[in-house]
């Protein structure tokens, strides 16, 4: 068992990295926004809230998949490698984080672009597709990444030659006991 401090540190690092990876999804989406090859699929409204004045805040699904699929993979690798949380729980938490980040970014983008206060812009974010689509992509990709990371880093079976070469462990074994034999407590 690792010391508590080590576990807390690993979890903090893992979830900080996951949060930054998810936020980075928006950054990657911005870099991809003019990439013609990924101009495929229905446009997802509110994907780049700060681009609303320029008229390209809606982005095609393929770009969203690359940006937030990648974000979920990076988040899943970090969480899978540094924590023992189940893949299902990790994916749900990452998706919730993503949804919150997207809602906050959308409201902030609205407020900045229109020189208005933040709070009234939070409600309308629920009507935008981007937080839901991004959260769905992160849910799926984080789940896969956590499972894949654990499978890759799991200790493998011990080769028999290696076992033979090692001294026998000092283990207690049980033997079938005779009926009526006295059991020691």
Partner 1 sequence: MPALPALALSGPTHSRPRSIGLRVLAAGIVVAWLTLGGLGLYAHGRDYSIYRGFPVPTHSASIPFGQVLTKRFNSSALHQERSYTIYVPPGYRAAVARGARFPVLYLLHSPRGKPQGYFTAGALAVRMDELIAAHRIRPYLVVLPDGRTGRASNDTEWANANQGRYESYVLDTVGAVDARWATLPDRGARVIGGLSMGAYGAANITLRHPEVFSGFQSWSGYFVQTPTDAFTGASRAALRANSPLLYVGGLKGVLRRHPVHAYLYQGRLDRNSNRAEFLRFGAALRRAGVPATVAFVPGGHNWRVWRDELPLMLRVANHWFGAGNGR
Residues that bind partner 1 (CB under 8 A): 17, 20-21, 23-31, 48, 50-56, 70-71, 73-74, 77-78, 81, 112-116, 149, 152-153, 155-156, 158-159, 162-163, 166, 169-174, 177, 183
CB-nearer residue toward partner 1: 4 or 158 = 158
**Using CB atoms within 10 A of its CB, is residue 43 exposed (0-12), middle (13-18) or buried (19+)?**
middle
Smallest distance from partner 1 to CB 55, Å: 8
CA distances from 1 to 5, 82, 147 (A): 11, 14, 22
What CA–CA distance (Å, rounded) separates 104 from 25?
14
Q: With contact defined as beta carbons under 8 Å apart, do 39 and 56 qualify?
A: no
Smallest distance from partner 1 to CB 158, Å: 4
CB-nearer residue toward partner 1: 3 or 156 = 156
CB-nearer residue toward partner 1: 73 or 134 = 73
What CA–CA distance (Å, rounded) separates 95 from 99?
6
Smallest distance from partner 1 to CB 11, Å: 15
Q: With contact defined as beta carbons under 8 Å apart, do 142 and 76 qualify?
A: yes
- Tokens 């080769």 belong to which residue? 159
Smallest distance from partner 1 to CB 116, Å: 5
Smallest distance from partner 1 to CB 164, Å: 11
Q: Which of 96, 119, 101 is nearest to 49 (CA)?
A: 101
What CA–CA distance (Å, rounded) separates 95 from 135?
5
């Amino acid at each position: 068992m690792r010391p508590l401090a080590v576990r807390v540190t690993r979890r903090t690092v893992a979830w900080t990295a996951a949060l930054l990876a998810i936020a980075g999804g928006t950054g990657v989406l911005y870099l991809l926004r003019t990439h013609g090859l990924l101009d495929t699929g229905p446009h997802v409204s509110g994907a780049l809230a700060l681009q609303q004045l320029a008229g390209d805040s809606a982005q095609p699904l393929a770009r969203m998949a690359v940006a937030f699929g990648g974000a979920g993979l990076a988040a899943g690798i970090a969480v899978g490698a540094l924590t023992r949380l189940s893949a299902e729980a990790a994916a749900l938490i990452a998706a919730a984080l993503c949804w919150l980040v997207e809602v906050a970014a959308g409201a902030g983008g609205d407020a900045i672009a229109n020189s208005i206060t933040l709070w009234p812009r939070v409600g309308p974010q629920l009507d935008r597709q981007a937080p839901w689509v991004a959260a769905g992509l992160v849910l799926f990709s984080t789940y896969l990444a956590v499972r894949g990371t654990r499978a890759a880093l799991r200790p493998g079976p011990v080769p028999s030659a290696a076992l033979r070469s090692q001294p026998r462990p000092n283990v207690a074994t049980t033997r079938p006991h005779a009926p009526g034999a006295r059991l020691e407590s």
